[in-house]
């Protein structure tokens, strides 16, 4: 990554700019979209449905902020996984260049998704501060908590993009997979509402620990559960290593298939 940092920066910039090229507001849509999403959720779940996150919640504000954290975390990984199957296929011209490091496309994809995640996260922080007039110092743990998901996303992108060259049906399955990942994670509900058996199942979802610990540190002012954070780091290293090995072996045949 360090060796090809110039290429990574160049392609990441192009990735971000291409999304909003030709639009009136340009890259500001990265902030406008989550702002509109937050406003819609606050209106629907807060003003209309009056949903409560917990019994102690006197209003729907807690639900809206908890839901938004879950959605932007899921949205980050969902975007990476959705693009992964066609990542190599859509850049076939680079595959035939022997010296070009095609593995950077997964890194570029993750960094592009990370940019939009950070924009949404900054919006959440601003809205939370305006609502409560204070921010917990434990919010500084957020980068440490989220880093494993970045590593995991790169590894999974390598795995899926490599398989996507040989199995084109993967692009059709990603939508169902990311939807299942959404509902098999504590995005819409506290994990404590589930029976213990189902709670264990949800922990196999790579975004579950991230969502739980981000909510605890950013909303409740709690120190992260370091055992769970360490577990997420171990899992992320596994996905990263597996993805790198699989992609390195599979890319030898990319040119023949494409």
Higher pLDDT, 145 or 192: 145
pLDDT, tens digit, 9 for 90 and up, residues 57-115: 556 688 888 989 999 999 999 999 999 999 998 888 888 776 788 999 999 999 999 99
- Give the residue among 161, 167, 145 at the shortest CA–CA distance from 232: 145
The pLDDT, as a whole number, for residue 215 is 94
For the whole model, what pTM was predicted?
0.91
Number of domains in the chain: 1
Name the band, by pLDDT with cuts 50, 70 and 90, for residue 31. confident
Residue 180, token pair as written in the block: 């299942």
How far the first Cα of the chain sits from its last, in Å, is 25
**Domain with 209 in it:** 5-257
* DSSP string for 63-98: HHHHHHHHHHHHHHHHHHHHHGGGTTGGGHHHHT-T
Query: What are the Cα distances from residue 98, in Å, to 31, 95, 157, 222, 251?
Result: 39, 7, 21, 50, 11
Cα dihedral 111, 243, 177, 173 in deg (nearest 10): 100
């Amino acid at each position: 990554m360090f060796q090809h940092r110039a290429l990574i920066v160049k392609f990441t910039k192009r990735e971000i700019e291409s999304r909003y090229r030709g639009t009136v507001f340009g890259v500001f849509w990265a902030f406008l979209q989550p702002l509109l999403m937050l406003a819609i959720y606050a209106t629907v779940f807060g003003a209309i449905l009056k949903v409560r996150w917990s019994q102690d919640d006197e209003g729907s504000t807690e639900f809206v902020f908890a839901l938004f954290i879950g959605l932007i975390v899921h949205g980050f990984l969902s975007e990476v996984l959705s693009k992964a199957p066609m990542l190599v296929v859509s850049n076939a011209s680079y595959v035939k260049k022997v010296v070009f490091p095609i593995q950077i496309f997964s890194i570029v994809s993750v960094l592009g998704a990370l940019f939009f995640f950070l924009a949404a996260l900054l919006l959440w922080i601003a809205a939370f501060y305006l609502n409560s007039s204070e921010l917990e110092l434990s919010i500084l743990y957020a980068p440490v908590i989220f880093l494993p998901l970045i590593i995991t996303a790169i590894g999974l992108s390598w795995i899926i993009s490599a398989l996507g060259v040989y199995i084109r049906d993967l692009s059709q399955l990603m939508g169902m997979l990311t939807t299942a990942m959404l509902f098999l994670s504590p995005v819409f509900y506290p994990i404590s509402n589930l029976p213990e058996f189902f709670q264990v199942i949800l922990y196999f979802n790579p975004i579950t620990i991230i969502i739980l610990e981000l909510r605890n540190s950013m909303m409740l002012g709690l120190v992260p559960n370091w055992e769970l954070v360490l577990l997420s780091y171990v899992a992320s290293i596994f996905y990263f290593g597996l993805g790198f090995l699989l992609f390195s072996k599979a890319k030898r045949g990319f040119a023949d298939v494409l």
